[in-house]
Amino acid sequence: MATETEVGELLHQRGWRTAFTVAERVNAWAALVGVIERGYGDDIYEYTNDISCRNWLHEAWLLLDDHIVQLWTPQIKTLDDRYRTATVDDDGQALEQFHKLPGPDLWWWRRHPRILTETSGDHSAQPAPSAPTLTRPHARRTRPACARTPDQTSACGRTRGVSTDDEEHRELEPAHPDPTTHPTSQ
């Protein structure tokens, strides 16, 4: 098992764009879950990029020291439960039309947002005018600020347009240890 810094560096060497911390990835997952709960308005490519922050947590959990896992597991489990509530389990049918699905242990890839919206020019979410489906991109849209980290990047790190609506963005702290739960279980 390894420290958080060692795991961040190792995953960076394996292809992640930077040596993330657990807090950064948990905050990215929390921001994405919040957006999905209100209605996801981006295209399929943004969605698959956005949910990859949960992949990092899954990979890190296999490598991290037990005490770090125990500190963060309750919050990740809560976010996972919120994600399950805000999404539909379709065994990956929506996503596999556009993206090769990873193994079944990455269960979040087999779900899609329950509420899909379109983002208007004023950055407010509007219900999609037709049957909700994840689509290919038509035009670049500005993502709500709650899905950005403080340096104005998306939850997974790509720079986006700037919005002033930061009311939903908040940092998470690790909870007290609960050794009976694990964030990668369903």
- Tokens standing for residue 119: 């983002």
Secondary structure element (H or E) that encloses residue 160, with its range: none
Low-confidence ranges of the chain (pLDDT < 70): 119-186
DSSP designation for 111: E
Domain ranges of the chain: 4-147
Is the full-model pTM beyond 0.75? no
* pLDDT at residue 157 in the model: 43
Report d(CA 20, CA 23) in Å as an integer. Answer: 8
DSSP designation for 186: -
* pLDDT at residue 147 in the model: 38
Crossing angle of helices 66-86 and 52-61, rounded to 10°: 150
Nearest in space to 32 (alpha carbons), one of 95, 112, 106, 122:
112
